[in-house]
């Protein structure tokens, strides 16, 4: 049985700057971890990213919806990763918050 994670991270950047920052971070992560995954794919349709990662013979899928004042992240984990749900959720939240906070700090 799969396990779903849903996270909402607020921001005050507006949709386009948030999308730009998140797209750059996703590309950075893909490059940093390319040798650890069998395959990863990100497809943007306007302000929504569909993400698919294959690792250890398992597929993890997710979707990022960039809104004017928040980002909604939904991830479907296969049962084999269910025990890691808390750690994955925490890492996703921290990474999204840090990524969106970078722009806030540069405006000050």
Structural domain boundaries in the chain: 3-107
pTM, entire model = 0.85
- pLDDT attached to residue 108: 46
Which pLDDT score is estimated for 72?
98
44 CB contacts (<8 Å, ≥6 apart)? 23
CATH of domain 3-107: 3.30.530.20
Q: How high is the pLDDT of residue 31?
A: 84
Helix/strand/coil percent split, the chain, to 5: 45, 35, 15
Residue holding tokens 């306007």?
46
Low-confidence ranges of the chain (pLDDT < 50): 104-106, 108
Alpha-carbon span 80 to 62, nearest angstrom: 16
Query: Mean pLDDT for the chain?
Result: 89
How far apart are alpha carbons 35 and 55 in whole angstroms?
A: 10
């Amino acid at each position: 049985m799969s396990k779903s994670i849903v996270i909402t991270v607020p921001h005050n950047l507006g949709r386009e700057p948030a999308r730009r920052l998140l797209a750059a971070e996703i590309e950075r992560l893909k490059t940093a971890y390319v040798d650890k995954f069998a395959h990863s794919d990100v497809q943007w349709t306007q302000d929504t990213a569909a993400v698919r990662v294959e690792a250890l013979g398992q597929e993890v899928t997710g979707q990022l919806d960039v809104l004017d004042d928040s980002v909604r992240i939904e991830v479907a984990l296969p049962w084999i990763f269910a025990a890691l749900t808390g750690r994955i959720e925490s890492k996703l939240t921290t990474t999204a918050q840090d990524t969106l906070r970078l722009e806030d700090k540069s405006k000050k």
